[in-house]
Each structure stands twice: as structure tokens, then as C-alpha cells.
Amino acid sequence: MCFSDEASALRRPVDPALWSDADGLPLQALLEQVMQRLQAGGELAEAPMYGLRLSARWQGLVITVASKLCLGQLRRNAGVARMMGARADLPGSSVYTALPHFQLGPEPADGYAAGVKPLAGSLHWESCGFWDTRPESGRLTIPQAGAHLHLHGCSSDLRLGGHLHHEHPASRLERLERLAIYPLQRLTLLASDLAVDHLACDEGLLRFEVVNQGQLDASDVGVVVVIDDRWSSRRYLRLPWLAAGERQRFEMPLDLPVGPHDLLVCVDPEQDILEQESQRSNNRARLQVHG
């Protein structure tokens, strides 16, 4: 989830007096209380998603650092989670639970939580993120089932940055200093749209292009070439990166026996890349040739 357009006009600064009586509340509960009060007073429009900018000081804070968590590539994240030891059969198990956790702040009286590494650093953070009114929809990456808040940020001294595990028992909010809310009425699904284009074969040379017709860059893209539906002897290619709107040309020599053959070229055969189901039909292209 990201801002993909100018949102300054939607910015709604919040008076700190609105949370002056919220000492001791976890951040998510505090934000929910503030938003409910604003809506009750007609000062905040209802929206499916809210952008958030805030400044806060923490008594203790747990963070994780990982790229691609926000890309929504669910199969890949699940695979990474399994590779790193997360139990897929456990409720709430995800790539978040498998990532190294770092805890800022003094060591608690009962010691650091299991799997959490102590890390020295500032406890004053500038953060941005999103609040989803329908967390069950899956449109926002969250570390805990049913959570509304996804938050990233960096320490004010710019030494540390990452995903804020505000929901972690070891994360303790000291005070919220500044808050601005952005009611987002228009949500657009950014996705890749991979396709096989210009498939041709002549004089024993297979030529084709893989194009990304979507709005989201794709990484680690697999491509398979299958001859006569013999998947056991398929040829496999991999694209490290294919930006939105770009295409990559391939040429592959083929030594085909005499006679008719069916060639299949399929991009992203394991469906690791985020695409709308209605747009996956162009991931495959077939060609009838004679050897």
C-alpha cells in the first residue's frame, strides 16, 4: 500500500488535546479512539483507508527490516516464511514472524522476549503508514490477523528504520506527539500484467518477448518453455527484474525432431507475481511448428 498521487489536500492535522487522556493505550487503540472522536464530531470523513503520518516517542519498540513485504506477493512471502522456519499451519504465521526482530530500549525486568535481539538506538520515531477499515480484505500487509495498522518509519536521528511492530508486547508507547490523517476514498490496485508477445520460431530458433503491461514492477520472474507438453524436460529462464511497461526479448535455439510440434511459453508458471486473475490468460502463448 502506498500513496500513488498527491495527497496533501487530504491532510487533516489532529489537535493533541484529542488524545491527552489516552496515556497507557497501545498505539493502535489510541489511533482508533482519536478517529472515532473525529468522526463523531464530523471532523473526519469516513473512508475505506486512511493514510497516517505521526511522530512518537517509545519506551520500548520492536522493529523488523525486510524488503518486498508491501508488494503483496503472497505466495512468495509464504515461501520465504516457510524457508525461514515459520509454521504455515499455525494461525497468524507469516513472513513477519520469521524475520529477525530487534528491540530498542532498556532491557525489560523479565528479559528480552524469545527471538528478539537487543539494539541500541533512538526511541523517537517519525512514521507513516495506513489504517485499513477492512483488514480481512487482505489489501494491507499486517503482522497480526485483524490488525488495522501498518506502520513504517525511521528514528529521528536517521540511524534506524523499518517496520514498527506496534502490536508486540515489548513495544510500549511513551507518548504520541504529532498526528495527521489522510482519508483515502480512491484505492487503486497496482499489479503486474505479464504477457508473452511476438512468439515465433524459424530455422531452429525460438524468439519471444516477455512484457509487463501492468503498473507494478515485477522481480524474480520465471519463464518456462515446454515442447509437446513434456513438462519434465521443460527449459527454465528467470528474469531478475521487469519494470512496469518494459519488455525483455529472448532467443533460444531448438533442436526439434522432424515432424509437428507444439511449443508453449509460459511466464510466471507458479503464479508468484501479483496479478489480477482476469489478466493471467496472456501469461501463456502456444505455437505449432514443424521440425
Kindly state the percentage of the chain with pLDDT values over 90. Answer: 63
For the segment 251-259, the average pLDDT, to the nearest whole number, is 93
Task: Express each pLDDT in 95-154 by its tens digit.
Answer: 667 678 899 988 777 777 777 889 887 999 999 999 999 998 878 877 788 899 999 999
Kindly state the percentage of the chain with pLDDT values over 70. Answer: 87
Where is the domain boundary, 184, 202, 228?
A: 184
Is the domain of 140 the same as that of 204? no
The DSSP bridge pattern shows strands 218-227 and 260-267 to be antiparallel
Structure-model confidence comparison of residues 214 and 276, the more confident one: 214
User: What CATH number does the domain containing 56 carry?
Assistant: 3.30.1330.80
Look at residue 80 and tell me whether its pLDDT is greater than 90.
Answer: no
Q: What is the reported pLDDT for 94?
A: 57
Classify residue 93: in a domain, yes or no.
no
Is the domain of 172 the same as that of 210? no
The DSSP bridge pattern shows strands 172-184 and 149-155 to be unpaired
H or E stretch at 78: helix 74-83
Classify residue 2: in a domain, yes or no.
no
Q: What is the reported pLDDT for 233?
A: 92
Where is the domain boundary, 184, 217, 235?
A: 184
Is the domain of 27 the same as that of 140? yes
Is the domain of 112 the same as that of 51? yes
Q: What is the reported pLDDT for 72?
A: 44
Look at residue 77 and tell me whether its pLDDT is greater than 60.
Answer: no
Look at residue 67 and tell me whether its pLDDT is greater than 60.
Answer: no
Is the domain of 199 the same as that of 178? no
Classify residue 80: in a domain, yes or no.
no
Classify residue 87: in a domain, yes or no.
no
Name which of 48-62, 111-125, 160-174, 189-203 the model is least confident about: 111-125
Is the domain of 167 the same as that of 198? no
The tally of domains found in the chain comes to 2
Task: Express each pLDDT in 198-236 by its tens digit.
Answer: 999 998 999 999 999 998 899 999 999 999 999 999 999
Q: What is the reported pLDDT for 82?
A: 53
Residue 114 DSSP label: T
Confidence of residue 1 (pLDDT cuts 50, 70, 90): low
Q: What is the reported pLDDT for 141?
A: 78
Question: Which domain range does residue 26 map to?
Answer: 8-65+100-184
Classify residue 267: in a domain, yes or no.
yes
Where is the domain boundary, 152, 184, 216?
A: 184
CB atoms within 10 A of CB 36: 11
Is the domain of 199 the same as that of 132? no
pTM over 0.75: no
Q: What is the reported pLDDT for 91?
A: 39
Is the domain of 180 the same as that of 207? no
For the segment 25-37, the average pLDDT, to the nearest whole number, is 96
Q: How far is CA 92 from CA 99, 113, 136, 241, in A?
A: 14, 18, 12, 30
Classify residue 75: in a domain, yes or no.
no
Is the domain of 177 the same as that of 203? no
User: What CATH number does the domain containing 253 carry?
Assistant: 2.60.40.10
Looking at every residue in the chain, the average pLDDT score rounds to 87
CB atoms within 10 A of CB 139: 15
Residue 98 DSSP label: H
Is the domain of 220 the same as that of 248? yes
Confidence of residue 3 (pLDDT cuts 50, 70, 90): low
Is the domain of 110 the same as that of 254? no
